[in-house]
Amino acid sequence: MKPLVVTSGTVVSAAGHGLAQTVLSLKERRSGLTGCDFAGVTEGFIGRVPGIEQHGLTAVNPGFDCRNNRLADMALMSDGFFDAVMQARAFYGADRVAVVLGTSTSGILSAEEAYAAVDPVAGMPPDSFDQARTQDLFALPRFVASRLGLEGPLLCVSNACASSSRAFVDARYWLEAGLCDAVVVGGADSLCGMTLRGFASLGLIAPDMTRPCDARRNGISIGEGAGFVLLEREGARPDATVMMRWLGYGVSSDGHHMSSPDPQARGAIHAMRDALAHAALEPSDIDYVNLHGTGTLANDAMEDRAVHAVFGDGVPCASTKGWTGHTLGASGIIETLFSALMMREGFLAGCLNVGTPDPAFRSHVLTANLERMPKAIMSNAFGFGGTNCSLIFGAA
């Protein structure tokens, strides 16, 4: 495929507010996970972003005010991203910049709070509850477009934990079809009671910090976060600085089970091989695989099987969820930006919180950071229902 370029990016998670804080946390191997104290839940650990409660929204309809949109706004206003989009808007026109974002729960916390405040007599939620601008899945792209003054087409991708990775693919289709000239791609997912209690009901919440690829791994830690990139055609805006290049993608849907991965890893293998084919690369051309690596027994074993089938044991791989927790629909964009930082700063992040790597694993799992200047990184995202997405990025 013809490469597209990322000309700006921003990220907020428990690992840091902005790219500078994030890369410091990655290099110092400092986790952002803390004991859970959210929505009345005290089980396990969470990747909570500090400051959301104090962050106010400006220049938009007040009905957009919710945790998810505040989180998105924190990212939009970081790393010079807002100004970068303004420059693209001035060059292309507001109607030529699209927004394609991924989320799995959007502002559902607002609906939880509204339900708790339902009038017992009338049976109605408070008048202040704005479902369309908070809980609705399309609330996120509507908010981002409003905040950035964009008038191009909008799309929300809700594809479980692959949502913000899959958003790249749909953004590419729009650019190829000529519907737009630039796309704000990314996503946001924020903490809420439904995900914390839902994963607990499945027995998937780790009692301690999640430890992907560890022999004694015992579940996930839920996190929250947001990230965005500006995606453009290569060379279309000559003055734009290139952060990294997007080289290839692979998507699949194996439909094995509503919540369990296919133990044979057929869909994951297919997605990774397709990504290599789209990028016209060989497995040996990839310097690092950023694993989906949630920390559950089944997911990590499946992904190890898939990575070994495609790469053998020759390519280093690791999960970065020990820093952030599993940020669900936002994990793809957050880990995409982690990949950009590794290519820029010259290191590979090894799994965090690992005592003893699973001896059954056959892929080359890193458990410590490695100083190396990667030129190409694959980032995986796999979600409930058997949805799989692999993206390949190259250094600028």
Residue 365 lies in a domain: yes
Closest by CA to 301, choosing from 389, 378, 362, 252, is: 362
Give the other-Cβ count within 10 Å of 203's Cβ. 9
Residue numbers annotated as active site: 161, 292, 326
Residue 194 lies in a domain: yes
What would the mean pLDDT of 205-233 be, rounded to a whole number?
98
CA distance 182 to 91: 10
Whether 151 and 268 map to the same domain: the answer is no
Query: How many structural domains are present in the chain?
Result: 2
Identify the domain boundary among 207, 233, 259: 233
Whether 212 and 359 map to the same domain: the answer is no
Residue 241 lies in a domain: no
Does the pTM surpass 0.85? The reply is yes
Whether 229 and 266 map to the same domain: the answer is no
Identify the domain boundary among 177, 198, 233: 233
Whether 90 and 221 map to the same domain: the answer is yes
What would the mean pLDDT of 56-60 be, rounded to a whole number?
97
Closest by CA to 351, choosing from 84, 41, 26, 10, is: 26
Identify the domain boundary among 179, 209, 233: 233
CATH code for the domain in which residue 180 is found: 3.40.47.10
16: Cβ contacts below 8 Å, ≥ 6 apart: 22, 23, 24, 25, 32
pLDDT at 81 over 90: yes
Whether 222 and 307 map to the same domain: the answer is no
Residue 238 lies in a domain: no
Whether 184 and 89 map to the same domain: the answer is yes
CA distance 356 to 367: 9
Whether 267 and 157 map to the same domain: the answer is no
Between 132-146, 219-233, 376-390, the lowest mean confidence (pLDDT) is in 376-390
Residue 168 lies in a domain: yes
Give, in order, the Cα–Cα distances in Å from 311 to each of 55, 222, 276, 314, 359.
44, 29, 11, 6, 18
Residue 339 lies in a domain: yes
pLDDT at 175 over 90: yes
**Residue corresponding to tokens 């080359």:** 364
Helices 163-177 and 331-345, axial angle in degrees (round to 10): 80
Report the SS3 class of residue 210: coil
The amino acid at residue 283 is: P
What would the mean pLDDT of 105-109 be, rounded to a whole number?
96
Whether 188 and 251 map to the same domain: the answer is no
Question: What is the share, in percent, of the chain residues with pLDDT greater than 70?
Answer: 99
pLDDT at 258 over 70: no
| Residue 259 pLDDT level (bands cut at 50, 70, 90) | low
pLDDT at 192 over 80: yes
Residue 84 lies in a domain: yes
Whether 61 and 94 map to the same domain: the answer is yes
CA distance 38 to 15: 18
State which residues form the domain around 41: 4-233
Whether 291 and 370 map to the same domain: the answer is yes
Whether 193 and 221 map to the same domain: the answer is yes
Residue 114 lies in a domain: yes
Q: What is the pLDDT of residues 8-52, one digit of tens each?
A: 999 999 999 999 999 999 999 999 999 999 999 999 999 999 999
Averaged pLDDT of the chain: 96
Whether 206 and 300 map to the same domain: the answer is no
